[in-house]
A and B are shown apart, each in its own frame.
Chain A
Amino acid sequence: MVLSMKEIGLDFIKKLDMVANISSDYIVKSDDDTDSKYGYIPLERPIDIHIRYGLIVLDKPPGPTSHEVVAWIKRMFSISRAGHGGTLEPNLLGLGGETLR
């Protein structure tokens, strides 16, 4: 049985809810399909687009500042813009969520 694009999409949405530990019911307001001609299922993006819309949860080493690490990531990926959420002081380890693009 082949899943429609929409079913795969909904599956991904439910997966997101599971990751965030939320349980939500969804109400269908209208029955629509999504055209495979446009856009991509997030887990099936071509790699360059996946990188562009991607998120790295980085286990930052102690030493460099979060800003320095973001600069390194930008250089590694040869991208001009990268955001980051959550800064840590240089001698603290931990997670920074870095969004690319």
Chain B
Amino acid sequence: MHSFKEYVGLMELHGDIDREKLFEVTKMFIGKIYQRPPLRSSVKRALRIKEIYSIDILEIDGRNVLFKVKCESGTYVRKLCHDIGLLLGVEAHMRELRRVAVAHLREDLFASTLHEVSEALYMWRRYGDDSMLRNVILPGEFIVAHLPKILIKDGAVDAIAHGAQLAVPGISIFSKNITKGCTVAVMTLKGELVAIGRAAMDSEEISKSEKGIAVEINRVVIEPNVYPRMWKRKQQQP
């Protein structure tokens, strides 16, 4: 679900390299690259293709290079540094790494430290003040913010909570960006996340249809009985 990650890393070169060559070689890694996971990893060591969306050199201090990289999930930045070093001819290794964004969840906007979580909990438990806790905990819906959304009628919610697929009659408002097979977020008209599924129809088809399955539900999030039961046991088309 998290399509890309952004990191700031510190790479240490094992030899001296001029700036121009560094920029030139680093740029070569933008795009799709081959990677085989390192020995000490929990992943199967098969050759994989990962995409590097961007690499920016932030600061150079002697042989230390501070860089920012935006890449596909599952990319080993350590290996990237190693390979850059190889191509530069001096070898290099990653000294420090910090992930600064997981898709749209950015460090500068949304991250909290364990201290902040702890203090927020204290404020709530001791003084009944939940304001800090509400800053530290985001509505879970933020995790699907990047998905195309379909808002459904109140009457359709509980059926889905009980395992039904989403049929066209249950749909109230939907995004224009839905393509067949894409992952969509099914939500209530209040904005609550009901479920996540795969679109069986694209936006145009949903627009034109009066019946049929629009979304195959993969994962139900809302609990049953939050919305009232308005469905019959056997799914019927109106």
Tell me, yes or no, whether A binds B. yes
**Chain A interface (Cβ within 8 Å of chain B)?**
5-6, 8-10, 12-13, 16-17, 19-22, 24-35, 38-43, 45, 47, 50-51, 53-61, 69, 72-73, 76-77, 85-86, 88, 92-97, 99-101
Of A10, A19, A72, A86, which contacts B2 at CB under 8 A? A86
Stretch of B29-37, B49-57, B58-66, B147-155 lying at the A interface: B147-155
Is B191 within 8 A of A51, CB to CB?
no
* C-alpha gap A22/B143 in the complex (Å): 14
For chain B, the bracket of interface size reads 35 or more
In the assembled complex, the CB of B171 is this many whole angstroms from the nearest CB of chain A, namely 5
Most buried by B among A22, A24, A29, A30: A29
Contact: B101 with A27, CB < 8 Å?
no
Does residue B138 face the partner (Cβ distance < 8 Å to A)? Answer: yes
State the main secondary structure of chain A at its contact with B.
mixed
Closest 5 CB pairs of A and B: A94-B99, A34-B189, A42-B139, A12-B191, A54-B137
Give the residue of A32, A51, A72 whose beta carbon is less than 8 angstroms from that of B137: A51
Asked whether any CB of chain A lies closer than 8 Å to the CB of B107, the reply is yes
Contact status B111-A58, CB under 8 Å: yes
Q: Is B188 an interface residue (CB 8 A)?
A: yes
Contact status B117-A58, CB under 8 Å: yes
Task: Decide yes or no: A27 and B105 within 8 Å by CB, A9-B151, A50-B137, A58-B114 being known contacts.
Answer: no
- Shortest Cβ distance from residue A38 to the other chain B in the assembled complex, whole angstroms: 5
Interface string of B64-90 (1 = CB under 8 A from A): 000000000100000000000000000
Q: Which of B113, B146, B151, B187 has the most CB of A within 10 A?
A: B151
The answer to the question of B203 belonging to the interface, with a C-beta cut-off of 8 Å to chain A, is yes
CA distance A41 to B141 in the complex (A): 11
B98 touches A38 (CB 8 A): no
B-chain residues with CB within 8 Å of residue A51 when the two chains form the complex = 133, 137
Binding site for A on B (CB under 8 A): 1-2, 5, 7, 73, 96-105, 107, 110-114, 117-118, 121, 124, 130, 133-134, 136-146, 148-149, 151, 153-154, 157, 168, 171-177, 187-193, 203, 206-207, 221-222, 226-228
Hey, which chain A residues are within 8 Å of B188, CB to CB?
9, 34, 39
Q: Per a CB cutoff under 8 Å, which of B5, B140, B207 touches A55?
A: B140
User: What's the minimum C-beta distance from A56 to chain B, rounded to whole angstroms?
Assistant: 6
Contact of B226 among A20, A39, A56, A76 (CB under 8 A): A39
**B190–A8 contact, CB under 8 A?**
yes
Cβ B177 vs Cβ A40 within 8 A: no
Report the bound CA distance from A101 to B104 in whole Å. Answer: 22
Known: A9-B191, A56-B112, A94-B100. A76 touches B174 (CB 8 A): no
Q: Complex: how many Å from CA A51 to CA B228?
A: 23
- Within 8 Å CB of B2, what residues of A? 85-86, 97
* Cα–Cα distance between A44 and B215 once the two chains are bound (Å): 28
* Minimum CB–CB distance for A67 against chain B, Å: 12
- Report the bound CA distance from A41 to B139 in whole Å: 10
A13 touches B187 (CB 8 A): yes
Known: A41-B190, A56-B117, A57-B110. A28 touches B173 (CB 8 A): yes
